[in-house]
Structure 1
Amino acid sequence: MAAVAAGAAAGLAGCAQPQDLAPSTTVSSAPASSPAAAGTPAAPAADGTPAATGTATAAATATGGAVGTGGECKAAQLKASIATQPGGGAAGSVYRNVVLENIGSTACTLRGYPGLSYVDAGRRQVGAPAERNPDVVMTAVTVAPGGSAVAEVQQTNAQNYGDQCRLTDVAGVRVYPPNDTASLVAPQATAGCANEQIVLMTVGTFQAP
């Protein structure tokens, strides 16, 4: 009987999923003084827009979704903004952060990539959604009320692509939290490409600020 029990226990251990071993980070209840790097939804296609300069924390509007109660963070309990990293300029692009702040009354968890795409003033998608940066560490970030998590996004200048870009004014970045079909829009006045073959954003996973 002891041998059988030991074999059953070993079999159960072998069924554990890799994500169960991912490290977990708890964010303090105080909002971060300066945003850092950040993640894409498992369900919907992503939406996004290049960020304006500075570290503005602009409120975003949720388009639906249930409020989280200690589980995964949902759009309805979050506020989104885009912040430029200090010294984030690169050749033809800028590194910024997608910042999601928990404005709800309960802690929730963000794990994975956000979905991003540019939108115009009417909240219609402009161009291609963001691609995922594979060279990042996947962590689970617990966000207390008033706290935040960040995902780094590299935004390429639309003007780099000339006439093929079909330059279009952008009003913001649509943000889907991981595993959520509802979204927020982080205001950001910039230029995007109407050409859906041109990808202007590459995003990482959510991390603690």
Structure 2
Amino acid sequence: MSDLYLSMGRKEGAAGSLYWAIQFTNTATTACALRGYPGVSALDTSHHQIGPAATHSGSSYGTVTLAPAHSASAIARTTNGPVGGPCLRTGSYLRIYPPGSRSAALVPAPWKTCSGIFQVGPVNVDGTF
């Protein structure tokens, strides 16, 4: 975890959904490998969790090997407003556990889960959900 820098990438909307890339950048001098899904939850300004953690998208995944200074991402998804249910209050941070890690990073990110949908895809280099 200490050799990964976590940040938020582009936020995009499509077909009633909001997608936001979680970037994992290797800050080490050697390659590192990531496989699977990050653990993601929304937190308020007091670092209390808002609603349930993200579920997995169900996509298949493989091992991603990151050379030094290279990045991969996992895509977080919710609905773009109260489509099939209400929205929770907007969080100030995302708590993110890289795949296989027990250490989390708090990333400033205004996230609002709507309609009970909060999903995350596997870490990949294709930018896919």
Q: What TM-score, normalized to structure 2?
A: 0.82
Counterpart selection for 1:204 from 116, 121, 124: 121
Aligned-residue offset at 1:137: 2.7
**Deviation digits for residues 163-183 of structure 1, max 9, x if unmatched?**
xx5x32311211111111101
| Offset of residue 138 of structure 1 | 1.3
8 A contact 1:158–1:200 mirrored in 2:
no
2:57 pairs with one of 133, 136, 159: 133
Distance in 2 between the 1:176 and 1:90 partners? Answer: 26
Which of residues 96, 104, 108 is equivalent to 1:187? 108
Q: Say if 1:128 and 1:200, in contact at 8 Å, map to a contact too.
A: no
* 1:119, distance to aligned residue in structure 2 (A): 0.9
Count of matched residue positions in the alignment of Structure 1 and Structure 2: 125
Q: How does 1:142-157 map to 2 (within 5 A)?
A: 142-157=65-80
- Contiguous gaps of at least 5 residues in structure 1: 1-74
Aligned 8 A contact 2:50 2:89 in 1: yes
Deviation at 1:84, TM superposition (A): 2.5
Q: Does 1:93 align with 2:17?
A: yes
State the Cα RMSD in Å: 2.1
Equivalent residue runs for 1:12-161 within 5 Å: 75-84=1-10, 88-134=12-58, 136-157=59-80, 159-160=82-83, 161=85
Q: Deviations over 1:132-153 (max 9, x none)?
A: 111x231111112211111122
**Structure number with higher helix proportion:** 1
Describe the superposition over 1:60-96 as per-residue Cα deviations: whole angstroms up to 9, x where unpaired.
xxxxxxxxxxxxxxx22111122225xx312432122
Q: Secondary structure at the match of 1:207?
A: coil
Distance (whole Å) between structure 1 residues aligned to residue 122 and residue 107 of structure 2: 17
- Measure the CA separation in 2 of the matches of 1:89 and 1:170: 18
Equivalent-residue separation in structure 1 for 2:13 and 2:36 (angstroms) = 25
Distance 1:149 1:186, change over 3 A: same
Q: Which residue of 2 aligns with 1:173?
A: 94
Aligned amino acid, residue 83 of structure 1: G
Choose 1 or 2 for highest CA Rg.
Answer: 1
**TM-score normalised to the size of structure 1?**
0.53
The residue number in structure 2 matching 1:20 is: none
- Partner amino acid, structure 2, of 1:118: A
Answer 1 or 2: which has greater strand percent: 2
Q: Is the 8 A contact 2:40 2:95 kept in 1?
A: yes
Q: Report % sequence identity.
A: 34
